[in-house]
Structure 1
Amino acid sequence: MGRPRTALLNADRIAREALALIDGEGADAFSLPRLAARLGVRPSSLYNHLDGRAAVVEGVRRLVVAEMDTSAFAELPWPKGLAAWARSYRDAFARHPNTIALLATTTISSAATLTMYETVVDALARGGWPRERLVAVLTSVESFLLGSALDLAAPPLMIDTAEHAGEVPVLAAALACSREKARRADEAFETGLDALIRGLVAQRAELAVN
């Protein structure tokens, strides 16, 4: 019958299937043999399109990053651009919470991710942040965003004071009047994001004076 007119596999299909595997079964379920089985091929076939596991992980990262929006940096001052990007970042990882542990502990090398970071740090630099502080600012924001995305994926009852309410009365009372999970997570995110950006604005002002 000869060779098929279109390849059965390509890098994008492999990455999308890997993301589906991680979304559905967790990062611990991700392996090249497991991925190959889902695609109906031998593990060796993956190497014809991607250079091993790290390349597959970067393909997954590229797909998640593609759901983030950096366009506000071209139109808004860096604090507002940062807030808009932060919301899209958190939302992207909230849709794929199982990827966080994998992607946050794997070296970043994909062009799409590097381009996103370039957009962010370029906006910060244009806003007056010194070069030696750019990575610290980026990392502090990103750490908050990853934690906020995980908060959306947390169990509805994350802090249970039922058996110790008398020992932690202030905490128990605060939890009793907190909102239902989704609204609580959104409120916590907006509170933290506002505090983080206000703090960064204040730091930037101090740097300008000193």
Structure 2
Amino acid sequence: MARPRKPLLSRERIVETASALVDSEGLDAVSTRRLAAELGVSGPSLYNHFRNKDEILDAVADALSARIDLSMFDEGDARGWSDALHDWAVSYRGVLTDHPNVVPVLARGPGRRPAGLRVADAVFGAMVRAGWPPAQATYIGALMRYFITGSALGSFARGFVDDRDAYDPADYPHLGQAHLLAERQEKVDEGAFETGLRALVDGLALQYETFGEKTQR
């Protein structure tokens, strides 16, 4: 029998299958046994590509990091640092909201993941080039990761039920419209993210002016 032209198993196939499992069933659904069954291979064959489940999940997370737009941090891009930071955050959140079950892995930081490290390097490098002191550039990178991943971990609007009777005015006089939040989830959550993002970027812009004044003295 002729050997197949393509290998039966590859890192890409494993990551794609694991990603689909995480999206549909969550992180706990991923195991080497389950992946082997989904891929139609023996369990030990996975270890030719990954040492354990954690490495697989890292690869899934890194595949998502690779989708984040970093073009706004290119040296030839005309956007200022604040607009670049805003647009990057929007792209980052867009990736996470499409794959919310992976957020807990991404929230731990890039570790040794190449795409994740490229994201961190791009943000830090752009802030330093813009004139931020290295320590502050580090704080900005951390702050933005906290905000973006935190916003993608859950939905504020989905935390309310669509039952008007759940919010008795006698007990909750200011929640008379809370039962409408669930059906307006996307608008509420996107509006909250944009409001918070603008507050962060505008606040950083004020700090940036302060640093500029200090360096001119």
- Normalised by the size of structure 2, how large is the TM-score? 0.85
Answer yes or no: is the 8 Å Cα contact 1:78–1:127 preserved in 2: yes
User: In structure 2, what is the equivalent of residue 133 of structure 1?
Assistant: 136
Deviation at 1:164, TM superposition (A): 4.7
**Structure 2 portions without partners, runs of 5+:** none
| Counterpart residue type for residue 132 of structure 2 | W
Q: Check 1:106–1:127 CA distance in 2 against 1; reply closer, same or farther (3 A cut).
A: closer
User: In structure 2, what is the equivalent of residue 32 of structure 1?
Assistant: 32
Deviation at 1:188, TM superposition (A): 0.8
1:159 aligns with 2:156: no
Q: Check 1:36–1:91 CA distance in 2 against 1; reply closer, same or farther (3 A cut).
A: same
Deviation at 1:12, TM superposition (A): 1.2
User: In structure 1, what is the equivalent of residue 15 of structure 2?
Assistant: 15
**Structure 1 portions without partners, runs of 5+:** none
Answer yes or no: is the 8 Å Cα contact 1:16–1:63 preserved in 2: no
Counterpart pick for 2:197 among 193, 198, 207: 193
For residues 139-173 of structure 1, give each alpha carbon's deviation from its aligned partner in whole angstroms, at most 9, with x where no partner exists.
1111111122234xx38541358245333323x14
Number of residue pairs aligned between Structure 1 and Structure 2: 207
Q: Check 1:50–1:164 CA distance in 2 against 1; reply closer, same or farther (3 A cut).
A: same
Identity %: 35
Q: CA RMSD in A?
A: 2.3
Answer yes or no: is the 8 Å Cα contact 1:97–1:149 preserved in 2: yes
Superposition map of 1:50-69 within 5 A: 50-69=50-69
Superposition map of 1:1-210 within 5 A: 1=1, 3-74=3-74, 75=77, 76-105=79-108, 108-151=111-154, 154=155, 157-160=158-161, 162-170=166-174, 172-173=175-176, 175=178, 180-210=184-214
Q: Hey, what's the Cα distance between the residues in 2 that align with 1:59 and 1:206? A: 41
| Counterpart residue type for residue 158 of structure 1 | G
Deviation at 1:92, TM superposition (A): 0.3
Q: Hey, what's the Cα distance between the residues in 1 that align with 2:132 and 2:156? A: 38
Q: Hey, what's the Cα distance between the residues in 1 that align with 2:200 and 2:30? A: 34
Deviation at 1:73, TM superposition (A): 1.8
For residues 15-34 of structure 1, give each alpha carbon's deviation from its aligned partner in whole angstroms, at most 9, with x where no partner exists.
11111010010112122221
